[in-house]
């Protein structure tokens, strides 16, 4: 599980890029059986096409991956193709990526509301549920679930892409980007490496990973400092972590099969007393959803979230929406081997408000990577500026042509496009252009 591609031209960060210039051959889009006529509760006047359905990646074992594809709002033929992979491992790209983070719609009770900052304003967005077992993707041979690993996941995703391009031939030779977040810090570069060495007719121009899991020790060891510097644990507990059991060891012992040492037990006890189940570790400044989905629908059937407020119950609303039979029919989706669609089959694991994969770990790993690749800093660490002279976050660029970029989205949670949609869309725009984020003139 090598998280970093070794090709020095691959650009990554808490967002990333590449440059080839290539002429696109535009082929007219063909009508597809996967075309979505209309999603239940969808707003009127939707100007772009949506598709979804299955691509068989293993005929013998009957293993099929589900995708949701949203064409760009305008000029899809001249826009790039972006493949989105959710992390987890085990989280749904269609649910978490499209309907919570950056797709065109967000579920609200029985209806969908328009997301003003949808990424299909910039690109044709392909959301892949991967590996089989996640979201609506499945394997009829259940033994597959016992031997699945990251290599197989990447191979299946590559096979998916090959077959998907047969369905959608107009995307051959198109500018192509792979993006994802969290555990996709592994999925994205691994798939990128396979794509590079494949004969796929896609022009891979960059990869982007948000709050990615990159290197276990650095990422998880950055947690205690984050907790402490954000008020979540006391001085004395922080000292305890440093002296007795660091947070990567803590996670290893508790979640990866033990045995649990006495010192880690002690530290775990101290931390769990101070931190609380009421806090969303993925968004330490945000609130938690308090209603269960049925409450949400009966009490506030049509209430859109107020103003710019974040709808902290969006996850519950998405789970409700994706479990509706009429929605599944519209999506050409089936439940195979499960009775319910889940946002994540295991529990998943940055923006600067994420304490699960803190940006502090990512920042030091990206700078370490730059050193290994002998990339010089071409744009020093600086605040980047959003439209109206507000700080969007901070960024640093390494190498020529914005080869490798690190960017923080100020106020962003683990899933930054959910809590900071406007800043995230700007960052996505610059990423696709291969351009650095705007700096202040100060």
**Binding residue (CB under 8 A) for a second copy from 382, 422, 429, 438:** 382
- From the list 413, 11, 425, 438, the residue with the least C-alpha distance to 209 is 11
3-state secondary structure of 369: helix
Residues 248-267 within binding reach of a second copy (CB under 8 A): none
Q: Is the peptide bond before 89 cis (omega within 30 degrees of 0)?
A: yes
By beta-carbon proximity to a second copy, the closer residue of 172 and 234 is 234
How many binding residues for a second copy (CB under 8 A)? Answer: 51
Other C-beta atoms closer than 10 Å to the C-beta of 440 total 10
Query: Does residue 374 touch a second copy according to CB under 8 A?
Result: no
- The single residue among 16, 369, 385, 404 that binds a second copy, judged by CB under 8 A, is 385
Q: How far is CA 340 from the centre of its chain?
A: 22
Does 394 help bind a second copy (rule: CB under 8 A)? yes
Residue 122 or 283 having the CB closest to a second copy: 283
Q: Which is nearer to a second copy, 129 or 280 (CB)?
A: 280
Tell me the catalytic residues: 182, 354, 414
Contact residues for 319 (Cβ-Cβ < 8 A; gap 6+)? 95, 293, 341, 342, 343
Calculated CA dihedral for residues 395, 397, 402, 407, nearest 10 degrees: -30
CA 113, 117, 123, 126 torsion-angle sign: negative
What is the rounded end-to-end Cα distance, in angstroms, of the chain?
42
The residue from 275, 336, 345, 373 that contacts a second copy (CB under 8 A) is 275
Examine residue 390 and tell whether it contacts a second copy (CB under 8 A): yes
CB of 397 to a second copy, least distance (A): 12
Q: 139 Cβ partners below 8 Å, 6+ apart?
A: 58, 61, 62, 63, 64, 132, 133, 145, 337
> Is 359 near a second copy (CB under 8 A)?
yes
Which is closer to a second copy, CB of 323 or CB of 379?
Answer: 379
Binder of a second copy out of 45, 60, 197, 388 (CB under 8 A): 388
Closest distance of CB 267 from a second copy, Å:
14
Tokens 């009490």 label which residue?
A: 299
Q: Which residue has the tokens 């276990």?
A: 216
Alpha-helix residue ranges (DSSP H) falling in 197-246: 216-229, 235-244
41 makes contact with a second copy (CB under 8 A): no
The nearer residue to a second copy, 159 or 364, going by C-beta atoms, is: 364
| Per-residue contact flags (x/-) with a second copy for residues 409 to 438, judged by CB under 8 A | -xx---------------------------
- Residues near a second copy (CB under 8 A): 225-226, 228-237, 273-279, 284-285, 287-288, 290, 306-309, 352, 359-360, 363-364, 367, 380-383, 385, 388-391, 393-394, 396, 408, 410-411, 440, 442
């Amino acid at each position: 599980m090598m998280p970093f591609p070794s090709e020095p031209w691959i650009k990554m960060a808490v967002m990333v890029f590449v440059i080839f210039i290539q002429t696109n051959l535009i082929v007219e889009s063909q009508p597809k059986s996967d075309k979505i006529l209309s999603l239940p509760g969808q707003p009127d006047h939707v100007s772009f096409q949506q598709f979804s359905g299955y691509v068989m990646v293993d005929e013998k074992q009957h293993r099929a991956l589900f995708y949701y594809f949203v064409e760009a709002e305008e000029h899809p033929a001249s826009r790039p193709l972006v493949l989105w992979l959710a992390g987890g491992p085990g989280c749904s790209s269609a649910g978490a990526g499209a309907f919570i983070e950056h797709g065109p719609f967000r579920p609200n009770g029985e209806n969908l509301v328009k997301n003003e900052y949808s990424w299909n304003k910039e690109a044709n967005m392909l959301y892949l549920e991967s590996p089989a077992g996640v979201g609506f993707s499945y394997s009829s041979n259940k033994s597959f679930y016992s031997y699945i690993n990251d290599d197989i996941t990447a191979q299946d995703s590559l096979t998916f892409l090959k077959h998907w391009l047969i369905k959608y031939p107009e995307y051959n030779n198109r500018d192509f980007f792979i993006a994802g977040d969290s555990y996709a810090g592994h999925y994205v570069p691994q798939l990128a490496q396979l794509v590079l060495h494949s004969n796929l007719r896609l022009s891979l121009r960059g990869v982007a990973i948000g709050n990615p899991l990159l290197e276990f020790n650095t990422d998880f060891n950055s947690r205690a400092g984050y907790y402490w510097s954000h008020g979540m644990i006391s001085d004395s507990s922080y000292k305890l972590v440093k002296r007795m059991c660091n947070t990567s060891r803590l996670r290893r012992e508790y979640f990866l099969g033990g045995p649990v040492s006495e010192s880690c037990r002690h530290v775990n006890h101290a931390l769990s007393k101070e931190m609380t189940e009421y806090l969303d570790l993925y968004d330490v400044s945000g609130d938690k959803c308090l209603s269960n989905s049925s409450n949400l629908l009966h009490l506030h059937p049509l209430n859109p979230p107020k103003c710019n407020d974040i709808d902290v119950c969006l996850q519950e609303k998405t789970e409700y929406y994706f479990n509706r039979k009429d929605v599944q029919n519209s999506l050409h989706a089936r439940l195979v081997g499960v009775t319910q669609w889940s946002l994540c089959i295991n529990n998943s694991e940055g923006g600067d408000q994420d304490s699960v994969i803190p940006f502090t770990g990512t920042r030091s790993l990206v700078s370490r990577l730059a050193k290994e690749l002998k990339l010089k800093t071409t744009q020093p660490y600086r605040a980047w500026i959003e439209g109206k002279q507000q700080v969007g976050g901070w960024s640093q660029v390494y190498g020529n042509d914005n080869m490798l970029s690190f960017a923080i989205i100020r106020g962003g949670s683990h899933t930054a496009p959910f809590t900071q949609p406007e800043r995230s869309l700007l960052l996505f725009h610059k990423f696709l252009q291969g351009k650095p984020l705007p700096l202040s003139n100060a």
